[in-house]
């Protein structure tokens, strides 16, 4: 595997479910990010991790809970989501905090029913 | 609040035509990135511009950063179907933040 991978690629969940999104980067980067991309809206930065420490929580509701166990892995734990949370969730990594190029994964298309 | 506008929102052209898309703001930025996103994929960085008035070329794509570093343009010469995608501009908006526009969705017809 190379680059940034995300699983699952598609997820349908009910509002009472608990699920997790996984991101893995094989680039040796030190910073990782979660973005939300909704139809007709700009990419929204949700969380930023640098060297496994969270440095940004962009007023994201507590039903989204990130976890970064090491510099290669990033999770987004989901619980009691709302239909308006349906979106494409993108993970990205960069060599260091917001320097240079961000490499994005293919995203997880989430549908909340 | 920093407002970022990309235009046009949608563009459908024939193969071989030229086009320009724009990214405008009232704020001054230290740098700006352009990405292309294809369906089912994440955005891929095309270029970063840093200096006011800077022009960068990537094959048939020409990127320009405005003199005042508030706007940018992307010009594509002789567009090809492979250029189809969502073009996003992302100015640097803080120590480590980039903000993204809503993008220009380009479709190049063969």
E strand spans, B1-110? 4-7, 10-14, 19-25, 32-37, 44-49, 55-58, 61-65, 71-76, 85-91, 104-109
Give the model confidence (pLDDT) of B75-94 as tens digits. 999 999 999 999 999 998 87
Q: Which residues in B have their CB inside 8 Å of a CB on A? A: 4, 40-45, 48, 88, 90, 92, 95-103
A66 interfaces chain B, CB cutoff of 8 Å: no
pLDDT of residue A8: 97
Of B42, B45, B103, which has the smallest distance from its Cβ to A90's Cβ?
B42
Of A42, A98, A106, which has the smallest distance from its Cβ to B41's Cβ?
A106
pLDDT of residue A98: 65
pLDDT of residue B71: 96
Contacting residues of A for B96, CB less than 8 Å apart: 48, 55-56, 97-99
Predicted confidence (pLDDT) at residue A103 exceeds the cutoff of 70:
yes
Residue with the bigger pLDDT between A110 and A96: it is A110
CA dihedral A45, A33, B105, A8 (to 10 degrees): -120
Give the model confidence (pLDDT) of B11-28 as tens digits. 999 999 999 999 999 899
Nearest to A97 by CA among B91, B95, B100: B95
Predicted confidence (pLDDT) at residue A10 exceeds the cutoff of 60:
yes
- Starting at the edge strand that comes first in sequence, how are the strands of the sheet with B10-14 ordered? B10-14, B104-109, B85-91, B32-37, B44-49
């Amino acid at each position: 595997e190379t680059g940034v991978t995300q699983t699952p690629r598609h997820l349908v969940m009910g509002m009472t479910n608990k699920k997790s999104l996984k991101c893995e980067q094989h680039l040796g980067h030190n910073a990782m990010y979660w973005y939300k991309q909704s139809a007709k809206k700009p990419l929204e930065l949700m969380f930023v991790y640098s060297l496994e420490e969270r440095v940004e929580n962009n007023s994201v509701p507590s039903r989204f809970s990130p976890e970064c166990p090491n510099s290669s892995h990033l999770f987004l734990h989901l619980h009691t989501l709302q239909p308006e949370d349906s979106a494409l969730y993108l993970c990205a990594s960069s060599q260091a905090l917001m320097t240079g190029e961000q490499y994005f994964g293919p995203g997880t298309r989430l549908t909340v029913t | 609040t920093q407002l970022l506008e990309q235009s046009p929102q949608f563009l459908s052209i024939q193969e071989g035509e030229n086009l320009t898309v724009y990214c405008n703001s009232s704020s001054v930025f230290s740098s700006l990135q352009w990405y292309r996103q294809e369906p089912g994929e994440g955005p891929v960085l095309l270029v970063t511009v840093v200096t006011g008035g800077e022009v960068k070329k990537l094959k048939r794509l020409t990127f320009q950063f405005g003199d005042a570093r508030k706007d940018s343009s992307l010009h594509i010469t002789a567009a090809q179907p492979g250029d189809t995608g969502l073009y996003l501009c992302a100015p640097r908006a803080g120590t480590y933040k980039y903000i993204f526009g809503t993008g220009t969705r380009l479709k190049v017809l063969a």
